Structure 1
Amino acid sequence: MTSDKTKKSLVIKPFKPRNTMDAAAAAGIWGNLSRAIDEIHNKNASELSYEELYRNAYNLVLHKHGELLYANVRESLRAHLTRVARAAACVPDEQLLGELSARWADHQVTMVMIRDILMYMDRTYVKQMNRMLVYDLGLQIFRDAIVRHDKVRDRLRALLLRNVAEERAGRLIDRGLMKTILGMLVDVSVDGPSVYEKEFEAPFLEATARFYRAESLGFIAANTCPDYMRKVEARLAEEAARGTQYLHVGTVPKLNAIVETALIQDHARTLVDTEHSGCESMFRENKIEDLERMYTLFQRVPSTVDDLRGAMCDFVKRSGKALLADQEVAGREPVAFVQGLLELRDKFTGIVEHAFHNDQKAAKRLKEAFEDFVNADNRSARFLASYADDLLRSGLRGVPEHEVDRQLEKVIVIFRYLQDKDIFENFHKIHLSKRLLTGRSISNDYERNMIARLKAECGYQFTSKLEGMFTDMRISQDAMEGYRRAGLSHSYGVELEVSMLTGGYWPTQTVDACVLPAPLKQCCDTFEKHYLEKHTGRKIVWQTHMGSADLKAVFGGRRHELNVSTYQMCILMLFNQTDQLSLTIIRNHVNIPDQELRRHLISLCTPKHRILKKTSKGKGIADDDVFIFNEEFTSKLKRVRVPLVSARDLGLGPDAADGGGGGGGADDVPFNVQRDRQNMVEAAIVRIMKARKALGHNALVAEVTKQLQNRFNPAPVFIKKRIEALIERDYLQRDEKDRRTYVYLA
């Protein structure tokens, strides 16, 4: 170890301050810097030593002469830019923008050099003293000295706006120069309000609004709607290019708003309603391109698209109601009406898809339009059922499988629009029964396909009777097979074909059987005995008004096979014993209801199928008419089908195909449909009340409507009547404390 005497002692020397720079020395250094800045302004910077200049500026700041340096730099820049401003102010208008562009470019270059020399001052003194950076200081002085110079400011604004006006008039301008000058206005806004916005943007937008208001008014008055829209597209494209090439990005949305308001929003209603070239003309002539152009333009101002959607909705309503009002189509040709309806839908579905870019609100308005006029008249449901009947009888013959699905789906599309789906069901059931009983359906697979689609839409209950009809036909085939195997099908010289129909499935009316010819009566008795032996406990009721027959007839040596109804067969068989019979005698022998008897007799006396001749003239039948077998009847066909004339055409009331209804008007609901509606509403009321026990009137009506909307929309008055009927029958009672509340009686 070393002793304390050998240890060295620690010596702390006093702080020696750095050499200070006096004011004279600082002034001398600034003089060098000032001359260097002048050389930079004079574009002689290549001879300068930037390292030396940076060190001089560094020393001034380091020795607390930052204020001196900052103030002198500011005055130097101001003096230089004041001289530049005086020179620029004397330049003629046509050269002013170019002069300012050149001076601005020089200023940017010089300020970058000066900023680099004074970088240490920016980092320390400027930051500590919360002063403006040197480069920004140069921008501020450039703004105040040049841009806001009394002889520059107004001229600059006017020149910029004139350039825009000339470009809109179709003349070429220097867009690069415009971009430079406008960029200058943006850059010099280093403090306070934006110079660009105040000196250019505000007057530019104001001038733009005036220009397009005037131009749009003149152009829309002198041109068609499509021409105007093409002009708007061109103008929008021009403004978009202007925004991309020289306007500040912040101006673009403001410019778009002004242009879109002046060119689109202010004239949207006029464009839609323009006679001969507006929306109605485009819809009528299916001008997809023009409609797409209008939709695309209107999308820029979303509130205007509703005008376009509304115009489409109104046009579809008018077109649909015109179809219904056209008696040539709607009254006599229901198939043509539905075809027109489908064409209308296909057309506007295409418009929504292609022109309106699958706009969901437009699709909803289209659906509302179809629902409006389709449900304005109950005939629509009947016409749709007739159209489906035509498809399944002959319209789909030879059609490829994928096309069959497409055609049936079209029926379902229109079916979805119907509120009174039960009316469609009624008529569809009538048509289906005729197709099944007469064997005129193209394919059972197509029939089941249709039923499956209806079932998917409305549920099992809607199609249960339709499916039951197919079950009956299968059972009938099995019964006839057993009958044939027993060797009884050709008894008494008659070939008998029987369909076994369950009473609840088929649209049948209870009608007394007519008097059948003896051979046929014996065949029927034989079949009935055979069937009841195998199916005890059942009852057979013959529905002779629904049958048909093939008769072999001889007319003056000419043989024909007549396809007729059972009633017609009974009438014609009477003429095997005599050539003429009176109406009274025929009525007594066949026991056919008078209205149907007259209808079937007239069908046998029509000019085209004059198998019988009557003594009176005209369509009607007199009570004293006599009918004579027409030996002179002839036809090019070996097998002749004798159709029934319409009872409505004879003034005898509705056809059976009308389901017991009237003429098919807007308020006409077939009797059996009305009866079923009463039952469905009462059943729904009882179900709801059984579950709820007590319920207010409005809530009950709402629940019933919700449950039945897949079948039909019951009116509140109709529901109220059924509630009253249930109260009378002691299913419900009114609450003693609140008469608007119903209580279920168990």
Structure 2
Amino acid sequence: MEERLRDENLVRKTSNADGDEEATILLNTILSASVDKEKAQEGLSKLSSGIIVLKVYQELNGKVRDAVISLIDQEREGEQIDRALLKNVLDIFIEIGMGQMDYYENDFEAEMLKDTAAYYSRKASNWILEDSCPDYMLKAEECVKWEKDRVSHYLHSSSEPKLLEKVQHELLSVYANQLLEKEHSGCHALLRDDKVVDLSRMFRLFSKIPRGLDPVSSIFKQADKKDIVGLQEQALKEAFEVFCNKGVAGSSSAELLATFCDNILKKGGSEKLSDEAIEETLEKVVKLLAYISGGQFTSKMEGMVRKVTDWTSARKIQTSFEEYLSNNPNANPGIDLTVTVSKTDIWPRYKSFDLNLPAEMVKCVEVFGKFYQTKTKHRKLTWIYSLGTCNLIGKFEPKTLELIVTTCQASALLLFNSSDRLSYSEIMTQLNLTDDDVVRLLRSLSCAKYRILNKEPNTKSISPTDYFEFNSKFTDNKSRIKIPLPPVDEKKKVIEDVDKDRRYAIDASIVRIMKSRKVLGHQQLVMECVEQLGRMFKPDFKAIKKRIEDLITRDYLERDKDNPNLFRYLA
């Protein structure tokens, strides 16, 4: 830290070196971002003339160059430096030459390239002994990326090809054979184990250096043909994954498939598919999801698809329940009841709430519960009222209608069998629902197409001060109507669910990486996390940073006391 501050101070004090007062003013003028171009050019013209160049530039350029190079090396080690300051100072080397690159190339760039070669030579000599081939290539790729980043922030663009040539030579050309022939992790091992991601990185890196692919092609020629065929198949699979994960009109493939499945399951799709056709369609969707999310995320989905259309188990339970009722007349619930029992290990956890059922429905739940206990004593039934439907007979003055409603809607309507008028708060209390659920429920019954309830005041919104009455004069051309609940923002919900799943995936990736590495720098952890998750989705760097911070607070990781950019895994 002290060395970095010393180097930065030297760079900052370039304009305060011994020499003419005019030189100091001129250098300050050049470094000032607010000065206009004409004044800068006027100052540079004076600075380029004889005495001032000798007294200021020739005396200080070597010290400043060394300080800048030292700061670059410190940044390579993960320290934070003032990039804007470096850019301002390096611009002097160019402006001194009145736009010509001689001063920049001879007095700065040449030494910087020598230092770069020496720096990466030291790094490579250690990494080649310590790291596996995939780990070494990951570090090499990261180094190339960060050198490009330096060029974009403060080095001149003409330095990029020269800089990358030094990096690639020291990291790849010098150790090519040793790296590719590593016994348990080299090119042979990667081919044998179908490591497509690592082999792709190998191609990207070695294709950038002269004749870099020669040793790679030589190893491929010696490889087992079965390995090559397997690699081609894997490559095609991953290429298809990339295609499947491309967004369409602002929506991801996962969102579009979720909407498609929702439509199929609710309505049978636009073609009103049969159960067999739905099953076949959903099986195809699961295969696509494996490319989008990865197989580990679709195992439960496969089980769900099988459950969606194969109701054999549920139908057996229902048939058995009907036999139970016929053999036990005293157990008759008084209502035709159909129950579908599903396992929670496959289906997602639906919102469950303690709805206060009307007396008619309470008896149904009790009767089925007693029946189910005769089948098993080790399973607990959880009633998901949000998935239930009821057929009610509504006796209106014009005519009697059959109403197809949800369990919650039915519970609300049945309250009016014993009450002529109910307030919003009374309905909420008697049903034991939240404000959001009550508002959605009452809007469907009093403000939508079918106004089964009259609302006071007669507005289009639901308020806690509203009162409701049964609309005895309601009628409709049909004798059987379905009253839907207002739709929730499905797209928003899907996005929230996807974000939640991705947070879990990022957490798992970070923990896996740190568990194997024990100690790792911030940049490398982020890069490896992106690499691991890249086949499923493209994680946001900010999201990874947030998950790292969260894992630190949960004592999975800790920061190194001396270097905050270094993380340690806590077992």
TM-score by length of 1: 0.39
More contact order relative to length (CA 8 Å, sep ≥ 6):
2
TM-score by length of 2: 0.50
Larger radius of gyration: 1
